[in-house]
Amino acid sequence: MFKILEKQVFSPIIKLFVIDAPKVAKSCQAGQFIILRIHEEGERIPLTIADFDREKGTITIVFQEVGKTTKQLGAMEAGDYIKDFVGPLGEPTHIEDVDTVVCVGGGVGVAPVHPIARAFKEAGKHVIGIMGARNQELMFWEDKMRAACSELLVTTDDGSYVRKGFVTDVLKEVIESKGKDNIPLVVAIGPQPMMRAVCNMTKDYGIKTIVSLNALMVDGTGMCGCCRVSVGDETKFVCVDGPDFDGHQVNWAELSLRSAYFKAEEQKALERHECKCGCGGGK
Partner 1 sequence: MAEQKAKKKIVPNKNPMPTQDALERARNFNEVALGYSEETVIAEAQRCLQCKNEPCRQGCPVEVDIPAFIKLAAEGDFDGAIKKIKEKNALPAVCGRVCPQENQCEKYCTLAKKHEAVGIGRIERFCADRELQKGVTLPEVAPPTGKKVAVVGSGPSGLTCASDLAKLGHEVTIFEALHVAGGVLMYGIPEFRLPKAVVQAEVENLKKLGVKIEVNSVVGKFTTVDQLMDEAGFDAVFIGTGAGLPYFMKIPGENACGVYSANEFLTRTNLMKAYQFPEWDTPIKIGKKVAVLGGGNVAMDGARTALRLGAEESWIVYRRSHDELPARKEEAEHAEEEGVKFAFLTSPVEILSNDEGWVTGMKCIKYELGEPDASGRRRPVPIEGSEFVMDVDTVVVAIGQGPNPLVPRTTKGLELNKKGNIVANLETGATSKPGVFAGGDVVTGAATVILAMGAGRTAAKSIHEYLTNK
d(CA 128, CA 133): 17
Binding residues for partner 1, total number by CB under 8 A: 45
For residue 176, give the amino acid letter.
E
**Residues with Cβ < 8 Å from 280, sequence gap 6 or more?**
none
Q: Interface residues for partner 1 in 245-264 (CB under 8 A)?
A: 254, 257-258, 260-262, 264
Q: Is 76 in the site for partner 1 (CB under 8 A)?
A: no
Pairing of strands 58-64, 51-53: antiparallel
- Select 181 or 234, whichever has its Cβ closest to partner 1: 234
**Residues with Cβ < 8 Å from 243, sequence gap 6 or more?**
31, 33, 48, 90, 91, 212, 213, 214, 215
Smallest gap from Cβ 272 to partner 1, in A, equals 5
Q: How many CA atoms lie within 13 A of 239 on its CB side?
A: 20
Q: Is 162 in the site for partner 1 (CB under 8 A)?
A: no
What are the CA-CA distances from residue 90 to residues 49, 239, 269 (Å)? 11, 5, 28
Q: Is 196 in the site for partner 1 (CB under 8 A)?
A: no
Q: Is 63 annotated as a binding residue?
A: yes
Q: At what angle do helices 252-259 and 192-205 cross, to 10 degrees?
A: 180
Q: Is 64 annotated as a binding residue?
A: yes
Of 95, 98, 147, 240, which lies in the binding site for partner 1, with binding defined by CB under 8 A? 240
Q: Is 59 in the site for partner 1 (CB under 8 A)?
A: no
Of 14, 58, 63, 68, which lies in the binding site for partner 1, with binding defined by CB under 8 A? 68
Q: Is 41 in the site for partner 1 (CB under 8 A)?
A: yes
Q: Is 229 in the site for partner 1 (CB under 8 A)?
A: yes
Q: Is 136 annotated as a binding residue?
A: no
Phi-psi region of 225 (alpha: psi -120 to 50; beta: other; left: phi over 0): left
Q: Is 53 in the site for partner 1 (CB under 8 A)?
A: no
Question: Which residues bind to partner 1, rule: CB under 8 A?
Answer: 23-24, 26-27, 37, 41-44, 68-69, 83-89, 218-219, 221-226, 228-230, 235, 240, 254, 257-258, 260-262, 264-266, 268-269, 272, 280-281
Known binding-site residues for [2Fe-2S] cluster equal: 224, 227, 239
